[in-house]
Amino acid sequence: MLSFFKAYKNFAIVFVIISVIIVTLIYNTLNVYQPLPIYQPAMVSTELVDSTIQHKKKYHKIADFSLTDQNGKTVNQETYKDKIYVADFFFTTCQTICPIMTDHMVQIQNALKDDPEVMLLSHSVTPEIDNVAQLKKYAVQKGVNDSKWHLVTGDKRQIYELARKSYLAVKDQGNGDAYDMIHTENFMLIDKKRQIRGFYDGTKSEDIDRLLDDIYILKKEK
């Protein structure tokens, strides 16, 4: 009788080991790499997209731009050439969601401080207030790494059009004033081809974790 149970015990151990191996192989087979989506205007809420491109279903990219950063230097598409980057819209005097968003941008900056392939870009939606001196003061307060993260100001019309025609991330103020806008909590992940690959709530820690994971996925693309 004892020999029977001993033999059964050995069989059970072997069975469990084989089962674990089979389950692991199945999991690895099914857990196939899934590329990130490429967002088009037609995939995004219409309140965040200019009416002229809401129908667009393919070939959407971030437009060329020329803005000025916290150091008075020109920042344009060449600054971000062959880079993955995270973009957002904010203003330095915002007391609601902006401080949380900025803290999370700092978190992303610090997590990727040794990765030259990834950069950050924050656009002011109140460029008439956020001049170079104001942006520099804000950058110093928040610990911005100038070589990795540009806070930009410039022509309000250009920023408005970037927000609603390129990044698909800002609401129209709707009060009759040209180019007035309400920024959202959105962070956008942009690939090396200037395509939007993800939207994230910049006020939520879990979305920042997801964003960092998605950057890792994006870096694996060829």
Look up the CATH architecture of domain 41-219: 3-Layer(aba) Sandwich (3.40)
- Rounded (10°) angle between helices 205-219 and 98-111: 40
Which residue has better confidence, 34 or 49? Answer: 49
Instruction: Give tens-digit pLDDT for 68-119.
Output: 999 999 999 999 999 999 999 999 999 999 999 999 999 999 999 999 999 9
Residue 127 near residue 155, CB atoms below 8 Å: yes
Residue 196 near residue 188, CB atoms below 8 Å: yes
- Rounded to whole angstroms, the Cα distance separating 86 from 141 reads 20
Ligand-binding annotation for 60, yes or no, is no
Judged by average pLDDT, the poorest of 23-27, 48-52, 182-186 is: 23-27
Model confidence at 172, pLDDT cuts 50, 70, 90, reads confident
Which residue has better confidence, 32 or 37? Answer: 37
Residue ranges of domains in the chain: 1-32, 41-219
Q: In degrees rounded to 5, what are phi and psi of residue 149?
A: -135, 115
- pTM for the whole thing? 0.84
pLDDT of residue 30: 46
| Burial class, 10, CB count within 10 angstroms (exposed 0-12 / middle 13-18 / buried 19+) | exposed
Structure token digits, residue 48: 């965040």
pLDDT of residue 20: 47
Residue 46 confidence (pLDDT) above 80: yes
pLDDT of residue 135: 98
Chain mean position to CA 164: 16
Percent of the chain at pLDDT exceeding 90: 79
- Rounded to whole angstroms, the Cα distance separating 139 from 73 reads 14
Ligand-binding annotation for 94, yes or no, is yes
pLDDT of residue 179: 85
Ligand-binding annotation for 104, yes or no, is no
pLDDT of residue 222: 72
pLDDT of residue 5: 44
For all residues of the chain together, what is the average pLDDT?
Answer: 89
pLDDT of residue 9: 56
